[in-house]
């Protein structure tokens, strides 16, 4: 019996090591599948548009494709900038790879200011869409990854993947002991009472809107938020903490509800 027990433990250990190796080997393949669905979000002028002052293309954040392949999710705070409509400047979604990107004019379809999410729509060819996962099942300690453009695509359209874990599931706004540190956005989030994911991987402003996905399935369980949640949770800090937050993906589903041809 003792010999059988030793054999069983050795066999179990071998199976665990094999599973770990298979999981590690699959991550590069998973990234290859995720990257075509990750896009840049910003503004652009039409080609050869006269009277344009400054940059013709401005990169603001990251987004990712959902539903029917013509809808993009990103953070709402990145799409609220005033546009030079007199010269046909528009929101744009950028696809491609490398230093040359294709700009697709985009329009806001729906937005959720409370959770800082916006749904954009583009015309033309459908892009590969990511599938949404069950963010209600996310647990602290779960390993994740997110892909986006941390430097705002300054070096070209090369998505970067960061890997980490869910460090905590925490309220999106931290109660403040000082009334002068409250603002309307923080008060609204305190009242709404929704939780966000705190991650141990560092995100940068260009990562806003990046998809946070499960390592075993590639399904999206959150959306990186590098500005709005941090502002409401960390106004008491004199210096940035480097903590990264993500909005749970369950808040994307209402944005897709009822849209023609949308596939959750």
What's the average model confidence in pLDDT over 192-196?
80
**What mean pLDDT is reported for the chain?**
81
Q: Which pTM value belongs to this model?
A: 0.80
Topology of the domain covering 35-130: Thrombin, subunit H (2.40.10)
Q: Up-side HSE of residue 48: CA atoms within 13 Å toward CB?
A: 0
Q: If you search the block for the tokens 């007199």, which residue do you land on?
A: 86
Domain extents in the chain: 35-130, 135-255
What CA–CA distance (Å, rounded) separates 209 from 55?
22
**pLDDT confidence band for 242 (50 / 70 / 90):** low
| Per-residue confidence (pLDDT) for residue 187, from 0 to 100 | 47
**pLDDT confidence band for 86 (50 / 70 / 90):** confident
Q: Is 150 within 8 Å of 206 (Cβ atoms)?
A: yes
Contacts of 164 (CB under 8 A, 6+ apart): 143, 144, 145, 199, 200, 201, 244
The pair of structure tokens assigned to 212 is 């946070």
Torsion of CA 113, 115, 116, 117, to 10 degrees: -100
What's the average model confidence in pLDDT over 107-112?
95
**Could you please report the per-residue DSSP string of 56-111?**
SEEEEEEEEEETTTTEEEEEGGGS-S---GGGT-EEEEEEESBS-EEEEEEEEEEE
Same fold, 35-130 and 135-255: yes
Between 101 and 168, the more confident residue is 168
Contacts of 232 (CB under 8 A, 6+ apart): 172, 173, 174, 183, 185, 186, 189, 190
What's the average model confidence in pLDDT over 63-89?
92
**Could you please report the per-residue DSSP string of 134-191?**
-GGG--TT-EEEEEE-TTTTTT-B--EEEEEEEEEEEESS---S-GGG--HHHHHHHH
- Say yes or no to pLDDT of 16 above 80: no
**pLDDT confidence band for 228 (50 / 70 / 90):** low
Q: Is 8 exposed, middle or buried (0-12, 13-18, 19+ CB in 10 A)?
A: exposed
Q: State the DSSP code for 132.
A: B
Contacts of 238 (CB under 8 A, 6+ apart): none
CATH architecture classification, 135-255: Beta Barrel (2.40)
- Say yes or no to pLDDT of 209 above 90: yes
| Per-residue confidence (pLDDT) for residue 184, from 0 to 100 | 52
Percentage of the chain lying above the pLDDT 70 cut: 75
Which tens digit of pLDDT belongs to each residue from 115-168? 999 999 999 889 999 999 999 999 999 999 999 999 877 778 899 999 999 999
Contacts of 129 (CB under 8 A, 6+ apart): 37, 65, 66, 67, 68, 69, 71, 263
What's the average model confidence in pLDDT over 88-95?
93
Between 85 and 63, the more confident residue is 63
C-alpha distances (whole Å) from 258 to each of 78, 109, 263 are 25, 12, 10
| Per-residue confidence (pLDDT) for residue 261, from 0 to 100 | 53
- Say yes or no to pLDDT of 12 above 80: no
- Say yes or no to pLDDT of 201 above 80: yes
**pLDDT confidence band for 210 (50 / 70 / 90):** very high
**pLDDT confidence band for 230 (50 / 70 / 90):** low
| Per-residue confidence (pLDDT) for residue 43, from 0 to 100 | 93
């Amino acid at each position: 019996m003792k010999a059988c027990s030793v054999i069983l433990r050795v066999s179990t250990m071998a199976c665990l090591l094999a599973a770990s190796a298979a999981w590690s080997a699959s991550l590069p393949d998973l990234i290859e599948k995720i990257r075509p669905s990750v896009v840049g979000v910003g503004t652009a002028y039409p080609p050869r548009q006269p009277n344009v002052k400054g940059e013709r293309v401005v990169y603001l954040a990251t987004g990712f494709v959902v539903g029917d392949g013509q809808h993009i999710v990103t953070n709402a705070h990145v799409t609220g900038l005033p546009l030079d409509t007199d010269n046909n400047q528009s929101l744009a979604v950028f696809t491609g790879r490398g230093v040359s990107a294709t700009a697709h004019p985009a329009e806001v379809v729906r937005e959720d200011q409370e959770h800082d999410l916006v749904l954009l729509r583009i015309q033309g060819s459908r892009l590969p869409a990511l599938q949404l996962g069950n963010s209600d099942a996310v647990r602290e300690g779960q390993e994740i990854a997110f892909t986006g453009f941390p430097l705002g695509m300054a070096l070209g359209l090369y998505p970067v993947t960061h890997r980490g874990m869910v460090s905590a599931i925490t309220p999106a706004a931290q109660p403040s002991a000082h009334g002068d540190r409250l603002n309307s956005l923080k008060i609204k989030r305190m009242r709404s009472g929704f939780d966000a994911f705190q991650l141990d991987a560092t995100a940068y402003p260009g990562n806003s809107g990046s998809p946070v996905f499960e390592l075993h399935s590639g399904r999206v369980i959150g959306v990186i938020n590098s500005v709005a949640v941090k502002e409401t949770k960390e106004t008491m800090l004199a210096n940035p903490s480097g903590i990264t937050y993500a909005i749970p993906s369950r808040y994307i589903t209402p944005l897709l509800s009822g849209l023609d041809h949308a596939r959750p």
